[in-house]
Structure 1
């Protein structure tokens, strides 16, 4: 029987631990000994995978309290841990020639936001209920390059340029870090000539299906990878529905899930 997905591997932890912020030790009033970071990270993974509420996190598994895990997730996200981890993993994939810049794909997916909060809005695909959108660009293998959270009523095309600008500089190869694809594939939701010109101005070729044309544009042989990545993303139960009122906590889970997908892609090379 395989290990539980919330039991972090040594390989992954060796990449995460150097990125965690150092805590200053209190000598006069040290208080209780803090729960080790690795145990807390396992608790965060448990919530991400199972979707359980923080207060029901099982104490007998040694994760610490739900509030302890919540605070560390918040603090690590504010310190940019998940962003830097994502860049580390992308650099390793790039060094192994495992990033396909020749057919990057953009798309979005809607999730219901049951408690409202920032970056929610009436969803046109869910009878006007409050929802959020996950906007993402992947490479040709389905590895997430960047992800953005917006309200459910935000038009997809409005996030096209912010997504392109959010792709981090990817190292791992000789020369300058890379941060833009060659072509970018998209569905009809991104069919606006003004945005096409803006994408071309960034020296990226927009390959976007046009409205009013028969279905069967042939782009499906390239675009299916982003849909598969969204299926992986929403395989984490905490991301199927947005439970957090605070956008930064949901974004932290979103970025962490992208890191885990990138790590899976890297592990598949071994």
Structure 2
């Protein structure tokens, strides 16, 4: 059976998914962000004897990648009249830059700048997951118990006290949330930006009943983190929502990127690259607009 992906409507092509800020479409890269991205991209040596076809400008290609991330349009339907190059060109650059570690380093760089600006609060953190359907299967997928056994994946997200994403991982939709708690904590990069030791571990972690197990509590304590996890069998109103709502808000921000609402990529590393890029964009917005 052929799976049809959503096409970009004519209205979205014209006005940019109905989201413009000061006349600038969301996938147009600001100068400040490009100044941070450009040094992180791998340098491609120019061939003089057999130059081949002229290479598309990296900044325009990145705009094409962001266009797909924001609108959810399939790669093969990327509008070439906007000057992004072909969808395959953008897909290859996304793959190559991800293999070079560009998106992860961009995320770490922005986290360090947020720390320098005093916008990171490691006194507490919150963790949660979100299920998405995987239309084409692939690695890091599984039959979900919440979607009538259909194939899907999960986004596992860890945020600090204000909701800034520190780490986001991808697993199959059948994986238990508790099993991913320690890998998610270990995925937090060393955050520099100030003199002294880089930040790696929050003081406390808040989680819902899906993480309720004494084994995971003990493992979290071994990392010198205090676990604050709701107990199963207790009524609603545990009071943890006062601190946990920030991670739900961040997951909603990730869902605002239409390409992350449904997993269309067969390769898990490509989808993980889009998730990491989405987290970096959220950090960039917080850096521009402090709390």
Q: Return the TM-score normalized by structure 1.
A: 0.99
Give the equivalent residue in structure 2 for 1:40. Answer: 61
Question: Which segments of structure 1 move beyond 6 Å, counting only runs of 4 or more?
Answer: none
Give the equivalent residue in structure 2 for 1:101. Answer: 122
2:123 alignment partner, SS class: helix
Give the deviation of 1:31 after TM superposition. Answer: 1.0
- Tell me how many residue pairs correspond in the alignment: 270
Give the equivalent residue in structure 2 for 1:231. Answer: 252
Distance 2:224 2:270 in 1: 34
2:169 to 133, 144, 148: 148
Q: Say whether residues 1:131 and 2:116 are aligned partners.
A: no
Q: Say whether residues 1:222 and 2:257 are aligned partners.
A: no
Give the deviation of 1:121 after TM superposition. Answer: 0.3
1:192 to 191, 200, 213: 213
Give the deviation of 1:96 after TM superposition. Answer: 1.1
Give the equivalent residue in structure 1 for 2:137. Answer: 116
List per-residue Cα deviations over 1:82-134 (Å, max 9, x = no partner).
10000000000011110111120010000000000000000111000000000
Tell me, which stretches of 5 or more residues in structure 1 are unaligned?
Answer: none
Give the equivalent residue in structure 1 for 2:19. Answer: none
Distance 1:193 1:171 in 2: 32
Tell me, which stretches of 5 or more residues in structure 2 are unaligned?
Answer: 1-21
Give the equivalent residue in structure 1 for 2:52. Answer: 31
Give the equivalent residue in structure 2 for 1:15. Answer: 36
Give the deviation of 1:269 after TM superposition. Answer: 2.8
List per-residue Cα deviations over 1:158-191 (Å, max 9, x = no partner).
0000011110000012211111100000000001
1:101 alignment partner, SS class: coil
2:132 alignment partner, SS class: strand
Give the deviation of 1:257 after TM superposition. Answer: 0.2
Give the equivalent residue in structure 1 for 2:101. Answer: 80
2:232 to 193, 211, 235: 211
2:179 alignment partner, SS class: helix
Give the deviation of 1:32 after TM superposition. Answer: 1.5
Distance 1:230 1:90 in 2: 18
Give the deviation of 1:214 after TM superposition. Answer: 1.5
Q: Say whether residues 1:92 and 2:113 are aligned partners.
A: yes
1:244 to 265, 276, 283: 265
Distance 1:147 1:165 in 2: 11
Computed over aligned residues only, the root mean square deviation of the Cα atoms, in angstroms, reads 0.9
Distance 2:228 2:116 in 1: 27
Give the equivalent residue in structure 2 for 1:49. Answer: 70
Distance 2:256 2:167 in 1: 18
Give the deviation of 1:215 after TM superposition. Answer: 1.0
